[in-house]
Amino acid sequence: MDQRYTNIKKRLTELEMELSSDSRLSDPSALAKLSKEYNEIKSIISVLEQFDQVEKSINDTTEMLKTESDSEMLAIAQQELEELAVQQKKLQDEINDYFSPADPRDKKDVIVEIRAGTGGDEAALFAADLFRMYTLYAESKGWKVQLIDSSQNTLGGYKEVIFEVHGTNVFKYLKYESGVHRVQRVPETEKSGRIHTSAATVAILPEAEEVDITINAKDLRIDTFCSGGAGGQSVNTTYSAVRIVHIPTGIVVSCQDERSQLQNRERAMVVLRARMLADQQEKQMTQMSTDRKAMIGTGDRSEKIRTYNFPQDRLTDHRIKKSWHQLTSILNGDLDEIITEVLQAETDARSSVS
């Protein structure tokens, strides 16, 4: 074990004391941040301990190879050594990601915005499919999903749905989901059986801390209104829903899914900060145009990134030119293999640029 293990074990002890203090229990926001850090440290301590055990096994097996003369035992030991080396590399990558992440935003929680594009009701139904897909994927990773705002049509589709995802390394795994997702299938509303092409846009925004983005209260116009349901129907008669306009940029954010006006205002401010940070970062990336063209993860919301082809039971990621089958499983949240392939392609692209 290196000094990093000693340092984070010390930090874990400090967090345990802070989490048990009465002052922290009365501050839900601070408590959530401390809990997240605590879970991250517990996770990386487990990885460090596994790495230490694998390293010990490698040393023991290497020593055995020096003295073993039986050819069958040598072959078994050599195979074991190769498997241990693979485990060691995987664990080392996890450790490096934690202590020296390639992207400092990787550990951030995210705001996900899904909007129906071309295709009318079918596009809204597809947006609902994507919302369900990401929700199930988040559950499989042990993440927490919290709805911020939504606008449904009468068929149960979403014109727009905005939600937060909290967990470990959420932005790292979701950041390349931004873009246009296209679907080819026979809509439920289609009587003649013709295949339609519809689309929905996905935006992944890393949550911004107050220190990341400074917002002057004088630059905000805040309106309140009654919450609405599917098809515009009224849900309640209290003015709990909130709409915030950031006057200098024209960014408009609404939130109506919390019970109180104060909670909706807090959630809306989270989204506003995230959108302002994303716009700021997009401008910076545009200036770095040469490197940006070499990357697959441009974050451009107008870029067509995937096609979900139902007649052929196939999903194609156009950035890495690779396809997968079993769409039903994918839409049920089985995204690990796809996201891993995209992350690897981005890593390879960065290596070629550097």
pLDDT digits (tens, 9 = 90+) for 85-106: 999 988 988 888 788 777 778 8
Task: Calculate mean pLDDT across residues 213-224.
Answer: 89
Residue 30 has pLDDT above 80, yes or no: no
Domains of the chain and CATH, by start: 3-99 (1.20.58), 110-211+289-353 (3.30.70.1660), 217-284 (3.30.160.20)
| pLDDT band of 237, cuts 50, 70, 90 | low
For tokens 């220190």, what's the residue?
211
The secondary structure of 277-303 as a DSSP string is: HHHHHHHHHHHTHHHHHH-S----TTS
Residue 130 has pLDDT above 90, yes or no: yes
DSSP state of 319: T
pLDDT at position 163, please? 95
Q: Pick the residue with more confidence: 43 or 327?
A: 327
pLDDT at position 204, please? 93
Rounded (5°) CA angle 323-331-298: 60
- Convert the pLDDT of each residue in 318-332 to its tens digit: 999 999 999 999 999
d(CA 104, CA 277): 14
CA quadruple 157, 158, 164, 170: dihedral positive or negative? positive
Amino acid in position 253 = V
Residue 219 has pLDDT above 60, yes or no: yes
Q: Half-sphere exposure of 305 toward its Cβ, with a 13 Å CA cutoff?
A: 23
Residue 141 has pLDDT above 80, yes or no: yes
pLDDT at position 298, please? 47
Amino acid in position 181 = H
Q: What strands, in cross-sheet order, belong to the sheet with 314-317? A: 144-152, 158-166, 110-116, 196-206, 179-185, 304-309, 314-317, 322-325
Smallest Cα–Cα separation from 228: which of 210, 242, 214, 218?
242
Query: Model-level pTM greater than 0.85?
Result: no
d(CA 347, CA 172): 12
Task: Calculate mean pLDDT across residues 55-81.
Answer: 88
Average pLDDT, rounded, for the chain: 85
Q: Three-state DSSP class for 344?
A: helix
pLDDT at position 171, please? 93
pLDDT at position 319, please? 93
pLDDT at position 198, please? 93
Residue 230 has pLDDT above 60, yes or no: no
Q: Pick the residue with more confidence: 333 or 188?
A: 333
Percentage of the chain surpassing pLDDT 70?
88
pLDDT at position 315, please? 97
- Convert the pLDDT of each residue in 265-290 to its tens digit: 888 898 998 888 888 777 765 654 44
pLDDT at position 137, please? 97
Q: Pick the residue with more confidence: 64 or 112?
A: 112
- Convert the pLDDT of each residue in 169-185 to its tens digit: 899 999 999 999 999 99
| pLDDT band of 147, cuts 50, 70, 90 | very high
Amino acid in position 110 = V
